[in-house]
Amino acid sequence: MNVLLTGAFGNVGTSTLDELLRQGHAVRCFDLRTPANERTARRYGDRIEVVWGDLRVPADVAAAVAGVDVVLHVAFIIPKMSATGIESELRPDFAEAVNVGGTRNVIAAMEAQPVPPKLVFTSSLHVYGRTQHLAPPRTVAETPHPIEHYARHKIKCEEMIRASGLDWAILRLAATFPLALKLDPGMFDVPLDNRMEYVHTRDVGLALANAVGSDEIWGKTLLIGGGQRCQHIFGDMVARIVGAMGLDMFPGEAFATVPFATDWLDTEESQRLLRYQTRTLDDYLRDMTRLLGPRLPFVRVFKSVVRRSLIAQSPHWRRHLARQRTSGWAGKTALVTGASSGIGAAVARKLAHRGVKVVLVARRADRLELLADEIRRDGGEAQVIVADLADDGVCAGVLAQAGAIDILVNNAGFGWYGYGADMPWSVAREMIQTNMMALAHLTLWVLRNMQARGSGHIINISSISGSLPEQGTAMYSATKSFVDNFTTALYRELHGSAVRVSLVRPGPVQTEFYDRAASQPDGRRIPGERFAITPEQVAARVIAVLRRPRRVVYAPSWLRVVPWVEPIFGWIIDLLGPALLRRSPVTH
C-alpha cells in the first residue's frame, strides 16, 4: 500500500518506518526539515519518498496526503523536548497549533481526496490522567480525564477524527522509551510506586504497520501496551535500567511523589487484532547495552560520577537541594502576574520549589489551574486568581484576594511589531494598560503594605528594548522604558530600607510573546526569536536578585553592555531607518 507517515523520523516514527519497509509498503515520510531529520532520512536513501513540511501549513499537508491509501498520523509535540525543540507544556498555544491544528489540516486534506485514505492516529494513555487510586487495568470504555495540555490536545484530535467522514482507528500508546543514549529527564516525573506498562518502540511500529493492512480495526479505539509481561512498578523498572548500566539506584528524592498519568492497560483486543507484543523490558535493556557498546566499561569504572550527573538532571532532586539551601523562604508569599506561561510560569515554579506560596495571576483560568496543579503535585502551595490586568479596576480585587505579599513579580505584558502608524489604538491602549498601568498600580499598592510591615521585594520584568528602542516596537519599547525609569526611581527612594525594588531586563525569550505579537490586529512576528534564551534562564536571574538584591540584572548577563549601544551607535540604527523593519508599509 501507499502509506503516508507523519513524524516519520522521531522515536515511534522510525520504528514504524522500518516495519513498513520490511512489510513491503511504499512509504511517503512527512516531517520538519531539520538537520537531525535530514540525517535520519539519508539512512533510508531511495527506499522512501520524503515530503518536508509543516503540519500548520495546509498546502504542505495536502501535498503529502495526495494519492496515498493510508495515513499514519504520528507527529505530535510532546510534554518533554521534541524534535522541534519545543515542549507542549511550556508553549501550549504553539503546541496546539501543531497538534490540533495540524491534525485538522490532515483530516481536511484526506477528505478532499477523490478517494479518501484511511487514518490511523496515535493517541496516548495520558488521556486518562491520574488513575493510581483506581484498580487496574485501564480500558477503552473509561472516560478520559486529561491533566496536561498534551493529553487535552490528544482528546481534541480524537474527537475531530471520530466526527470526520473518514475510516479511522485510534491507538492509545503506553510508555514507549526511545532507543537513545540520552536520558529523558521526564523519567524523574514518575513516582517510584507508580504502575507503568511498557511497550517497546519496535512493537509500536509493528502495531502501526499491521494496522495498515487490517480489516477489523476501523472505527475502533485500541490500547497499545506490552501486555502483562510488561506491567511493572516504576521503581523496579528504574532499578533494572540503571543496574544494567552498572549503576546503583537513584535516591527517592530525585523522583516525584504525586501519581503520574500512566498505568496498566487492557490490551487483549489490540493484541488479537494487531499481533504486535513480541518484546519486553529485557529486550529494551539488551538494546540499550548494545547502544552503549564500548562506553559501558567506562560507565561502570566511573559509575559514581555518571550516577551523580544523571541524578543532577532531575528537577525534583534540584528542588530537594534548593529547599535545603533556602529553608528561610518557607512561609513567604509571592504574587506573580502573567503566570499562565513563559517567564511568569517559570518564576512561579522556581519560587514554589523553594517553599514560597505563589499567587498566580493571569487571564487564562485553565492554564493557571494546570500550573497550580503541577506545583501542588511537587509539594508546593499555589493560589489562582483569574484577572485581566488591562482592566484598571481589577488590581485592588487581586490584592484583596492575595492577602499580604512578600514578593511581587510584575511580569504581565505583551508586544506588537510593525509600523507605528499601523498600530490600532485598541492594541496600543491595552499595551499601555497592561505593561505600564497595571504594573505601576500593583507596585505602588504593594509597596505601601511592604513599607508598613518593614520588608518585601518587588521585581519588575522589563526588556532590553527599554534602552534600545528599535523600528517596529515603538510602543512596546516605550512601555519598557517607563518600567526601567519607574523602577530605578523607586529603588533610589528605598535605598537603605528593608524594602527592595529590582529590575530584570531580558533579551529575546522563548515564550508565547512572539505568538501573541503576531496574532494582534495588524501585527507581525517580532524578529530575534532564534537568539532567544529560555524562560528558566530569566527565572534564574529573578531568584538570583532575590538572594542578592540589586537595582538591575540582565538575562543573559552580557546584555549589560546594551545601554551603552544606543548613545554610542544609535546614529547607525537611525541611518538604517525602515530597513530594519521586516515588512513593507501598509497602503491605505
User: So which residues are the catalytic ones?
Assistant: 476
d(CA 462, CA 517): 16
CA angle 419, 529, 477 (to 5 degrees): 40
- Kindly list the distances between the CA atom of residue 206 and the CA atoms of 14, 22, 48, 120, 436, in Å, as whole numbers in the listed order: 11, 10, 18, 13, 57
Query: For residues 265 and 225, is the Cβ–Cβ distance under 8 A?
Result: yes
Residue showing cell 564500548: 294
Q: Taking a C-beta distance cutoff of 8 angstroms, is the pair 69, 2 a contact?
A: yes
How many whole angstroms separate alpha carbon 323 and alpha carbon 252? 15
Where does 99-139 have alpha helices with state H?
Answer: 102-111
CA 180 centroid distance within chain: 21
Q: Which long-range contacts (CB under 8 A, 24 or more apart) does 363-370 make?
A: 363/387, 363/388, 364/340, 367/92, 367/340, 367/341, 368/339, 368/340, 370/89, 370/147, 370/148, 370/149
Peptide bond before residue 137 is cis, with ω within 30 degrees of 0: yes
Residue 97 sits at the vertex; the CA angle it makes with 256 and 158, to the nearest 5 degrees, is 75
Name the strands in the sheet holding 456-461, side by side, starting at the edge strand that comes first in the sequence: 382-386, 357-362, 333-337, 407-410, 456-461, 499-506, 552-555
Chain centre distance of CA 478: 30
CA-based nearest residue to 541, from 423, 411, 440, 437? 411
CA distance 109 to 128: 29
**Run of H or E including 72:** strand 70-73
- Tallying the residues shown for the chain, one arrives at 588
Strand 231-233 versus strand 195-197 pairing type: antiparallel
Cα maximum dimension of the chain: 78
Distance (Å, whole) CA 378 – CA 348: 12
Q: SS in 3 state form for 358-417?
A: EEEEECCHHHHHHHHHHHHHCCCCEEEEECCCCCHHHHHHHHHHHCCCCEEEECCCCCCC
Cell of 520: 494582534
